[in-house]
């Protein structure tokens, strides 16, 4: 059976590529610290030695559109082109060609259907930045075959948070049951509190830092019960109109498992949004443990949960003067 060697849940930020590859004088002041954290995070995936990547993202109206928008979709192709014209234009992200793992996609589709997740399937899926951003950050060689899974975080009515979590649990069972001797890593990206195209966009911090504090604690402690009791479509909207991407992070937590503490947790206050980089090792070995420790020494990450009472969040609490 396949061995799931790592689960990565992170925010995705399409500005990263340009911010860190521009000539020195054009780089924004935060680029250096950002790059250090991302490259440290990359080492947590490398230590998992994956052969196949199961990747979770959400098409941002690049291919999927309102004439026919699926709640959940899986790609089933030998090859995937990636990066749309308007992403090159806006973000400067390069194009990619990624190999697919067709047999695994077919198995995943069939098994998820059998578990009552009625997936749409695409045989001509082009990948957008929700999957290319993590390729750039954690596997820039783009040398591993992928099984891409898309979710609807964009077109109301959305599936419930519970549905995302349950889908993550189901994907874990399918990975564990896939007959192969290869190692699999699951990588999914979404958002903490985020505002796009609304009055809170591009502010000094993300739109709701205390939501971010709670979200990072809940995710990094595998606290499904508290998330499902507190997070609804409405509370996510209150935290920022594009916060629903949090549900893809919840899905990844579902793959890791209830109550599973993350092995590597990092975050960065990147003015208008907060970045988060989280890794679980389902069967952590010594090599992975040491890799996470080395990475954390560079990045300042935590080798376990970050709790909402951590002093890092004090500046955002009511009455704070910072």
- As measured in angstroms, the least distance from the Cβ of 239 to another protein is 13
Q: Does 156 bind another protein (CB under 8 A)?
A: yes
Q: Does 300 bind another protein (CB under 8 A)?
A: no
Alpha-carbon distance of 29 to 109, in angstroms, equals 44
Q: Does 71 bind another protein (CB under 8 A)?
A: no
**Residue 72 near residue 159 (C-beta atoms within 8 A):** yes
Report the distance separating Cα 118 and Cα 116, nearest Å: 6
Stretch that binds another protein, among 58-66, 114-122, 177-185, 299-307 (CB under 8 A): 58-66
Would you count residue 29 as binding another protein (CB under 8 A)?
no
Under the criterion CB under 8 A, does residue 259 sit at the interface with another protein?
A: no
Q: According to the binding rule CB under 8 A, does residue 172 interact with another protein?
A: no
Tokens of residue 295, six digits? 């990475």
Contact region with another protein (CB under 8 A), list: 60-68, 144-152, 214-222, 309-317: 60-68
Pick the binder of another protein from 36, 183, 200, 261 (CB under 8 A).
200
Angle, helices 129-138/31-46, rounded to nearest 10 degrees: 80
Given its phi and psi angles, is residue 61 left (phi above 0), alpha (psi -120 to 50 degrees) or beta? left
204 sits near another protein (criterion: CB under 8 A): no
**Quick check: 202 binds another protein (CB under 8 A)?**
yes
> What residue spans of 115-160 are helical by DSSP H?
129-138
Nearer to another protein by Cβ, of 85 and 286: the residue is 85
23 binds another protein (CB under 8 A): no
Cβ–Cβ under 8 Å, residues 34 and 268: yes
Residue 28 near another protein by CB under 8 A: yes
Tokens linked to 254: 């579902």
Q: Are strands 146-151 and 120-122 parallel, antiparallel or unpaired?
A: unpaired
Supply angle C-alpha 75, 81, 84, rounded to 5: 105
Quote the DSSP letter at residue 152: -
Q: Which is nearer to another protein, 196 or 303 (CB)?
A: 196
Among 32, 140, 198, 259, binds another protein (CB under 8 A): 198
Token pair of 75, please? 């790609």
Q: Closest approach of Cβ 260 to another protein, in Å?
A: 32
Min separation Cβ 109 and another protein, Å: 26
- Site for another protein, residues 93 to 152, rule: CB under 8 A: none
Give one DSSP letter per residue of 190-231, joined into a string.
E-SS--SSSTTTT-SS-S-HHHHHHHHHHHHTT-HHHHHHH-
Among 29, 179, 199, 311, binds another protein (CB under 8 A): 199
Question: Is 303 buried (19+), middle (13-18) or exposed (0-12) by CB count in 10 A?
Answer: middle
By beta-carbon proximity to another protein, the closer residue of 226 and 232 is: 232
| By CB under 8 A, residue 316 contacts another protein | no
* Chain residues that interact with another protein, rule: CB under 8 A: 28, 60-62, 65-67, 84-86, 89-90, 154-157, 196-203, 237, 241-242, 272
């Amino acid at each position: 059976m396949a061995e799931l060697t790592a689960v990565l849940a992170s925010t995705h930020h399409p500005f990263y590529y340009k911010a860190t590859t521009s000539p020195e004088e054009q780089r924004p002041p935060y680029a250096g610290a950002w790059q250090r954290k991302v490259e440290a995070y990359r080492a947590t995936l490398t230590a998992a030695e994956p052969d196949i990547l199961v990747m979770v993202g959400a098409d941002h109206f690049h291919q999927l559109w309102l004439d026919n928008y699926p709640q959940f979709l899986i790609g089933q192709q030998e090859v995937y082109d990636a990066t749309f014209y308007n992403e090159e234009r806006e973000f400067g992200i390069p194009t990619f060609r990624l190999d697919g793992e067709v047999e695994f996609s077919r198995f995943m589709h069939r098994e998820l259907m059998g578990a009552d997740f009625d997936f749409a399937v695409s045989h001509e899926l082009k990948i957008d930045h929700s999957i290319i951003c993590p390729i750039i950050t954690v596997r820039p060689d783009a040398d591993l075959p992928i099984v891409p899974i898309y979710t609807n975080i964009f077109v109301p009515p959305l599936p419930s948070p519970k549905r995302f979590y349950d889908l993550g649990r189901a994907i874990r069972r399918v990975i564990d049951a896939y007959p192969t001797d290869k190692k699999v890593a699951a990588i999914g990206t979404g958002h903490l509190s985020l505002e796009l195209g609304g009055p809170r966009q591009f502010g000094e911090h993300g739109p709701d830092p205390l939501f971010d504090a709670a979200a990072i604690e809940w995710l990094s402690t595998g606290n499904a019960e508290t998330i499902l009791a507190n997070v609804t479509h409405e509370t996510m909207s209150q935290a920022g109109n594009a916060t629903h991407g949090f549900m893809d992070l919840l899905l990844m937590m579902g793959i890791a498992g209830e109550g599973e503490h993350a092995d590597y947790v990092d975050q960065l206050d990147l003015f208008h949004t907060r970045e988060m980089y989280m890794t679980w090792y389902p069967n952590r070995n010594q090599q992975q443990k040491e890799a996470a420790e080395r990475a954390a020494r560079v990045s300042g990450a935590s080798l376990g949960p970050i709790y909402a009472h951590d002093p890092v969040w004090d500046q955002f609490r009511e009455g704070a003067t910072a």
